A and B are shown apart, each in its own frame.
Chain A
Amino acid sequence: MTPESLEQIEIIYNDALALPPHERPAFLDRVCGNDPNLRAEIESLLVCEQQASTCLDKPAIHFVAESLASEGAGVLVGKMLGRYQLLSLVGRGGMGDVYCAVDTHLNRLVAVKILPAYLAEDPARLRRFTEEARVIAALNHPRICVLHDVGHDDGIHYLVFEYLIGELLSDHLSGRSLPVPEALKYAIEIAEALEYAHEQGVVHHDLKPRNIMLTRTGAKLLDFGIAELRYPGEAGVTDSQTRSGTLPYMAPEQIEGQQTDLRTDIFAFGVVTCEMITGRPVFPGLAVQAHMVMPPAFDVVIRGCLARDPPERWQSMSDVLLILRRIAAGI
């Protein structure tokens, strides 16, 4: 391409950009007339321009600084946040770093999750989150990781959770299936936690193996109801209400940005259970593949969770739990 033609494209591009989108086709008809290549060139540039946020929106140094921040460098070790002293970085991720900390009042270990700055800078979201945190903190069940406290200090917003020692289900699985009795045991434990939460009116919204900790006393669910704190557009799909989950555990209605409810969790439960039994999750929208061999009893449970439309699924975790217990009794 010659500089001259590039300049010509630049002029047409900017003129088109100045027009409301619906007037652009007519304008391009007029200007590009008999040159389909030119028109395709301009159109491909206009498409790029429509991206809501891009890596070029802020100066490069901000882009790199944000990358560093999202990576989390464990730089808070030793720091006091309220009454919690951070001891070591135990996890990092898109949603913020997790530190093992000591509660200096009660002298016990806790897990402190640092909320990312983008959240702290959005008052509306922060308020919504704080309200939700109250509901989550009221959950009291042996299969749910307890939220002890929410606070902010020195410009940092954080959540304080029960400190758990164990292995994440995702690490435990890492692509393999579990023996049926073990999978069944965990499935029942997870179902118990969900049944309880649903009775309290709380939906998890991001149930997945990474949010299930296997402890000495069995499975415990992490991160109840805080899926929407995830960085917009990161590691999931975000709908208009900025509620997000993680593929492939998201129910169709969640992906499509429709109303979600406890049946959204039931779908995710089906995917997780399928993954424990077969070693791989099913993808939403696809039927349970033929090669996924499951014991017939499980097949019924899982298919009942994975129906595309919520009304076609099991309608409560109590129903699911009932069947799982029956299977367990039969083994």
Chain B
Amino acid sequence: MKTSSEDITQLLRAWNAGDESALEKVTPLVYRELYRLAGHYMGREREGHTLQATALVNEAYLRLIEWKNVKWQNRGHFFGVCAQLMRRILVDYARSRRYAKRGGGIASVSLEDAAPAAEDRFGVLMEIDLALQRLSVIDARLTQVVELRYFGGLSVEETAEVLKVSPITVIRQWNFARAWLLRELAGTTKQ
């Protein structure tokens, strides 16, 4: 796929400004990565494709653009938008998957436990998104850390670089945001 760095930058800017077409263009890339990872988890990928918690922004987006040739004016902003985009795509995906499972009549002879687990997991991602919306009301910087780390897949160091804070600060903010979100999730599932 040939997409120039200008195109991507413009796409991201446009999306940030409310143009949904950027979403349509980036979504297939994210899906491709998603299915590759799913293949790995299903044991269909040979060893060698090691699975790390790599920065997805690097994997899915920077693969497209001539990253090294680009001097980003605002690298942090770029990553921030990527992570938001990622969040939106994954949460939408989880939502559609969930509805498809409910409405779609997949006839299958159940030879063992049906898999409520998977449906619940998609639901969990939606809950995380909602909890993050609540967090954003009270603390924007924690929300940003979660978006970059969890949805953008950035490492502590990368997140620190983007936010221009120390890695220790990122770790502390992430620890706290994580516990806060987990508590929110526990609250919603118990009711």
Contacts and interface: CB of A to CB of B under 8 A. Distances in A.
A10 B173 contact: yes
A70 B112 contact: no
B43 A13 contact: no
Question: Chain B CB within 10 Å — which of A67, A89, A117, A157 has the most?
Answer: A67
Interface stretch (A47-55, A193-201, A260-268, A294-302): A47-55
B41 interface: yes
Interface residues of A, number: 68
Interface string B32-65: 0111011111111111000101001000000000
A116 B41 CA distance: 8
A59 B52 CA distance: 10
B17 interface: no
Question: Chain A CB within 10 Å — which of B46, B172, B179 has the most?
Answer: B179
A68 B53 contact: no
A308 interface: no
Contacts of A56: 128, 150, 178, 181-182
B109 interface: yes
Contacts of B53: 58-59, 62
A75 B47 CA distance: 20
Interface stretch (B3-11, B19-27, B71-79, B118-126): B118-126
Interface in B124-179: 124-125, 128, 138-139, 142, 149-153, 172-173, 175-176, 178-179
A287 interface: no
B113 A69 contact: no
A170 B111 CA distance: 10
Question: Chain B CB within 10 Å — which of A6, A54, A59, A89 has the most?
Answer: A59
Given A56-B181, A69-B38, A210 B44 contact: no
A89 B183 CA distance: 38
Contact of A91 (B37, B94, B108, B185): B108
Contact of B43 (A54, A64, A92, A115): A115
A23 interface: no
Contacts of B35: 65, 68
A13 B177 CA distance: 11
Contacts of B114: 92-93
B1 interface: no
A111 to B, nearest CB: 8
Given A62-B37, A64-B90, A90 B109 contact: yes
A70 B153 contact: no
B144 to A, nearest CB: 13
Nearest to B181: A56
Interface in A64-94: 64-72, 75-76, 89-94
Interface of A: 1-3, 6-7, 9-10, 13-14, 17, 44-49, 51, 54-56, 58-72, 75-76, 89-95, 98, 111, 114-118, 120-121, 154-157, 168, 170-171, 210-211, 222-223, 231, 234-235, 246
Given A69-B41, A91-B110, 11 more contacts: A14-B175, A45-B183, A60-B128, A62-B53, A64-B90, A65-B35, A69-B39, A91-B108, A155-B46, A211-B112, A222-B112
Q: Which 7 A-B pairs have the closest CB atoms?
A: A91-B111, A65-B37, A69-B41, A117-B43, A59-B153, A71-B118, A48-B182
13 contacts: A6-B138, A13-B175, A44-B183, A60-B87, A60-B151, A64-B90, A66-B38, A67-B125, A72-B115, A75-B44, A91-B110, A155-B44, A222-B112
